[in-house]
Structure 1
Amino acid sequence: MKKSIFTIVLAIGIILPGSAQQTPAPQQNGAISIKGVTAHIGDGTVVENATLVFEDGRITALGAEADVKGTVIDASGKHVYPGFIAPCKSLGLIEVNAVRASNDQDELGEIIPHVRSLIAYNAESKVVESMRPNGVLLGQVTPQGGRISGTSSIVQFDAWNWEDAAVKVDDGIHLRWPSTFRRGRWWMGEERGYRPNDKYKEQLTEVETFMRQAAAYGKGAAKEINPPFAAMQGVFGGTQKLYVYADGEREIIDGITIAKNSGVQHIVLVGGYHAYKTTDFLKENNIPVLVQFTHNLPVFDNEDYDLPYKLPKLLTDAGLLVAIQNGDASNFQTRNLPFYAGQVVGQGMDVEKALQLITGNSSKILGIDDAYGTLAVGKSATLFISEGNALDMRGNQLTHAFIDGREVSLETHQTELWKRYEGKYEGE
């Protein structure tokens, strides 16, 4: 028994060495002016040689003629951007995939809208900390797994705890629509590759039945509280959004149609791999799309090799409101968010429109555009200064970052190791 206890303690020590994040930044004290900078507003416009002033966490002046005030940062030749936003990720809910005790992204059950991600959010996560040096300063903390995974919340990435981190609490519920296809179970003797899902209709009916029952529950006077039904009332009342994860043409149409027929007020399509085939339907129903990350391969052999690269542009050109989310990639890869947008520039999209895919458009879709996503007087001073083009990994070199006006650290576990070992072999 003593040996077992020692082994457990040793394992914890190995897994969590110096696990605490840096101390969160103090509240802004006095005005700060960023002078001579190229300001990328996040709505498609650029202000050259701008001065941006913020005080008490809010932008108070922005423009070429704005007067400097307080502490001055000379950013001549540099660029300022609104903080990038990462939707639909379990950041802060899982630290080490192989360590079950650090994994709070999924709960037991298939239909669990009442499970709230926010209360499990770890503000000291090293994965979250690693987002900031690339300009990713906000995220939608989203539960994973199951058919209805739970309720997400939006946080900023420099906080003592989940209460401090919260930007928008319980913003939406996440529904993972069943697929009409499934992969062959090779371990059961089936051929690899895709085959029809013969349970699709049954799974669709299960979701539709639940949605209708939840809507009926809200119209009556229940004698006992039903937590899953009660948790759905926000999507019927319009105070929350329903995020429908669907990729195929049929799945997209079925999921959105059933959700709307059930009384859901605000729907967001997540994934939308074949959304370019349904653009008229999506426009007719005013459905925005959180499209998959672009560093990906086509799913089917008969598709264009560059479909994932150009999909955001195809949907934007069709007149849809589009933003990029990190899809099924690992959480740590979320720091590549600006480079996913940069990939779309390579497909012919204007660089400022591509920037909107991870700033202004994201904030509109998530419902936080009153304070975040663009640089404007009165909005939160959640922004960063970069040496060059932040959508290009060669130019994405941050010198300063601010969240609600607080200057946050750009140090991470990775930068500490880099500095520790960079001179180890010099001169040898």
Structure 2
Amino acid sequence: MKNIKINILAVLLCLATGATAQQTPAPSQTEAVTIVGATAHIGNGEVIENSLIIFEDGKLTQVLDATSTKMQYRGKVINAEGKHVYPGFIAPNATLGLVEISSVRATDDEDEIGDMLPHVRSLIAYNAESKIVESMRPNGVLVGQITPRGSRISGTSSIVQFDAWNWEDAAMKEDDAIHINWPNSFTRGRWWAGEPRGMRPNKEYATEVAELKEFFGQSKAYLGGDQKLVHLPYRAMGEVFSGNKKVFVHVNGEKEILDVIQFSKEQELDNLVIVGGYDAHKVADQIRENNIAVLSGRPHSTPNQEDEDYDFSYKNARLLHEKGILVGLESSGQMETMNTRNLPFYAGTVAGTGMDKEDALKLITSNTAKILGIDNLVGTLEKGKDATLFISEGDALDMRGNRLQHAWIQGREISLDTHQTELYERYSNKFQAAKAE
């Protein structure tokens, strides 16, 4: 009897696991694929109205105008006339795979204890079987930068593709950058501690900035010494000073951004990226002159100040683009993991403020790929790059047209089924059956 109960329990566990796990990763591409007739949005501003796209062994081999070429089709042929083809969208500064349910501590692994943590790697905590990660794919979000949160230096991010068994298989670029949360020159009163409500100057701002500078200085001194004693945080800074790792500074205020620019000069940081950059438009000239890229914050948010335009958040990225700054879109903030699936609609919102639609597309494709340093692999539909792309029935930056028919990651055709689509079909069938009765 005991053995029977154990066997039943094992079966139930297997069924439960099968019901909750992500779709099985697709097998490697074995047959060439030819897409004919679609409007191809290259991702660099170019559009081919009648395209011919061929990929094999996981790489794009041809991206041509079908009207002016007689290229022979290869392998499986997909007639996509009237459809649209896009490069896979890229989600930077995301906690995908690190948090499943925010209110359940055991599923939240985005933050570590400590203050200066450049040695902490987000990649090894990445859950490739996350249901939330899976839900990105039906909207065309196929690549992401997995980023830790909290602390002054949060840790090190890595870039993954969203079709893998584990973090090792998912990794596209390991340990691409460290992330610094710059101090704020203003602080909000803690009412529970008896402090006045509202914003007031942060008396500790200068001290907090000095502590960050001191850490950088001590790291350089350690790396220049004999290093007999192992100090992991200092040692991890070696890749930063050599230029192999970028530095992403999460900062929003005008004064703070100027201080970050000065800090980058003092520390001789050539690969600096501003994340958030709410007031970046106010100091856009200084940002451009110092060749700094910006990952602009989520457009679907309300203005921070009473005297700002109601649609300021919608057009912030456009204002930076018009100043000649390399800009992408990120989606951190409240409920950020699930809201990341709205990335294409964020770009569509920016386009709605007057930005050219193909330039808006660059905010989540080629621009972001350049900022993350993976533009040799993804971001555009170009010969030699990864076959990470999808076919949409309509405009993928509009939720009415973003209806994917096929999607590939590195040439593997991935499933577009998710927990949400399963529930949709389940209850659609229920109500259709009830209506028939």
Q: Shared topology, TM-score over 0.5? A: yes
Residue 259 (structure 2) aligned to one of 254, 259, 278: 254
Deviation at 1:423, TM superposition (A): 2.4
Task: Provide the residue aligned with 1:31 in structure 2.
Answer: 32
Deviations, residues 279-311 of structure 1 (Å, cap 9, x unaligned): 111111100000101001111212222111110
Task: Provide the residue aligned with 2:375 in structure 1.
Answer: 369
Task: Provide the residue aligned with 1:62 in structure 2.
Answer: 63
Which consecutive residues of structure 2, in runs of 5 or more, have no partner in the other structure?
1-12
Deviations, residues 62-95 of structure 1 (Å, cap 9, x unaligned): 1122432110011000000000000011110111
What TM-score do you get using the length of structure 1 for normalisation?
Answer: 0.95
**Structure 2 residue 341 is matched with structure 1 residue 341:** no
Q: Residues 101 and 377 (structure 1 numbering): CA distance in 2 closer, same or farther, change over 3 Å?
A: same
The amino acid that maps onto 1:410 is: L
1:259-274 → structure 2 map (5 Å cutoff): 259-274=264-279
Task: Provide the residue aligned with 2:94 in structure 1.
Answer: 89
Deviations, residues 311-335 of structure 1 (Å, cap 9, x unaligned): 0010000000000000213210000
What TM-score do you get using the length of structure 2 for normalisation?
Answer: 0.93
Q: Aligned with 2:21: secondary structure?
A: coil
Q: Aligned with 1:172: secondary structure?
A: strand
Q: Distance in 1 between matches of 2:339 and 2:215?
A: 34
Q: Distance in 2 between matches of 1:395 and 1:222?
A: 57
Q: Distance in 2 between matches of 1:260 and 1:120?
A: 33
Which consecutive residues of structure 1, in runs of 5 or more, have no partner in the other structure?
1-11
What is the aligned length?
A: 418
Q: Distance in 2 between matches of 1:220 and 1:320?
A: 38
Deviation at 1:336, TM superposition (A): 0.2
1:192-207 → structure 2 map (5 Å cutoff): 192-207=197-212
**Structure 2 residue 241 is matched with structure 1 residue 236:** yes
Q: Aligned with 1:52: secondary structure?
A: strand
Q: Aligned with 1:253: secondary structure?
A: helix
1:331-410 → structure 2 map (5 Å cutoff): 331-410=337-416
Q: Distance in 2 between matches of 1:163 and 1:260?
A: 35
Deviation at 1:223, TM superposition (A): 1.4
Task: Provide the residue aligned with 1:157 in structure 2.
Answer: 162
Q: Aligned with 2:429: secondary structure?
A: coil
Deviation at 1:184, TM superposition (A): 2.1
Contact kept, 8 Å, 1:148 with 1:173, in 2: the verdict is yes
Q: Distance in 1 between matches of 2:20 and 2:103?
A: 16
Contact kept, 8 Å, 1:44 with 1:356, in 2: the verdict is yes
Task: Provide the residue aligned with 1:50 in structure 2.
Answer: 51
Q: Distance in 1 between matches of 2:219 and 2:306?
A: 40
Deviation at 1:191, TM superposition (A): 4.1
Contact kept, 8 Å, 1:235 with 1:265, in 2: the verdict is no
Deviation at 1:16, TM superposition (A): 7.7
Contact kept, 8 Å, 1:237 with 1:265, in 2: the verdict is no
Deviations, residues 147-205 of structure 1 (Å, cap 9, x unaligned): 10000000000001001000000000000000011222222344443222111111111
Residue 141 (structure 2) aligned to one of 136, 139, 142: 136
Deviation at 1:394, TM superposition (A): 0.3
Q: Distance in 2 between matches of 1:358 and 1:424?
A: 38
Task: Provide the residue aligned with 2:112 in structure 1.
Answer: 107
Q: Which moved more, 1:136-145 or 1:325-334?
A: 325-334
Identity %: 57
Q: Distance in 1 between matches of 2:51 and 2:18?
A: 43
Q: Distance in 2 between matches of 1:333 and 1:83?
A: 17
Q: Residues 68 and 193 (structure 1 numbering): CA distance in 2 closer, same or farther, change over 3 Å?
A: farther
Residue 302 (structure 2) aligned to one of 293, 297, 303: 297
